[in-house]
Amino acid sequence: MNNKLNGVISALKKDVGLILSISFGVFLFILFFQPFPLDKFDFNNRVLLVAGLGVIVLLFIVLFRNVLPWLIQKNHSQPIFLSHISGFLVFASSAIACAFYLRYVGSVKISFYIIIKIALICLISPVVLRLYDLFNDLKQENEALIKEKETIKNQIEKYKEDSSDKYIILSSEKSTYQLKLLISEVMLIKAADNYVETVYKQGKNLKKELIRNTLKKIGDQLTPYSNFIRCHRTYIVNTQYIEKLNRKYNNYWLTLKEYTEQIPVSRQYLLRVKEAL
């Protein structure tokens, strides 16, 4: 019994301020705008009667929004259908209860016009609850995006720090020639018959260097460096320079910063490219 009580209290904690605000708002609205004929009551009794309407709204919100979902939830997951119809249950139940309350406690003659008023007033609570939930969802999504942005920013900064001052040495087939470059300078490497062509940046200029070797062996030399990914049987690119992955029908290609040529992406390496991006 104590466990059940603790569970209900826990479910109410996050919504208690909102629920009290809605019920108090309904109380004030009815008290000041007097949509129902309560003139036969003196002021004190009228306040008590209107307070009863606020309490009805509060009880049905607590019942269908907090207590009932907690009671029937299984395996720590709330039933999806209940989360979708809880607003309707709050509206319908509170409207029916308020109509009976006004008829038999407030001695108000129920007409179609009175029913419309009751329905509109009772519609306030599910609308406010829905807007509140949407706002919270957007807030949580925004916080998650901010955290993700910070994580990516930190990764990029670390990536730049790691790659800005480290050198790689690209060797020819028999190590008769070596090309030493900063990781951050190398833009791409592509196969060119029995050679590989290294495109790299020095200052503001793009330069090209041919090395007699295969792209596979050059790729093996680049294995320790996570900056480089193979996107095609003839291309290895530095992810630091990737600007966008493009698609048209079933064809994919990369756009690189400060490089006019399109870099093809084969389906064999597509997943790896997407993960790198």
pLDDT of amino acid 135: 92
| Integer CA distances (angstroms), 242 to 155, 188, 196, in order | 16, 10, 20
Tokens 């826990």 belong to 10
Residue 239 identity (one-letter amino acid)? T
H or E stretch covering 70: helix 68-72
Residue ranges of domains in the chain: 2-152, 165-276
pLDDT of amino acid 158: 61
pLDDT of amino acid 154: 72
Q: What is the pLDDT along the chain (277 residues), one digit of tens a residue?
A: 455 556 556 656 777 888 899 999 999 999 999 999 988 889 999 999 999 999 999 999 988 887 777 776 654 555 555 666 888 999 999 999 999 999 999 999 999 999 999 999 999 999 999 999 899 889 999 998 898 888 877 766 665 555 556 888 888 888 888 888 888 889 999 998 889 999 998 888 899 999 999 999 998 988 888 889 999 999 999 988 999 899 888 889 999 988 889 999 999 988 888 887 7
Class at the top of the CATH hierarchy for domain 165-276: mainly beta
Asked if residues 198 and 209 have their Cβ atoms less than 8 Å apart, the reply is yes
pLDDT of amino acid 160: 56
d(CA 70, CA 14): 14
How is 9-23 classified by DSSP, letter by letter? HHHHHTTHHHHHHHH
d(CA 182, CA 200): 9
Question: pTM score, two decimals?
Answer: 0.55
3-state SS, one letter per residue, for 116-183: HHHHHHHHHHHHHHHHHHHHHHHHHHHHHHHHHHHHHHHHHHHHHHHHHCCEEEEECCCCCCEEEEEH
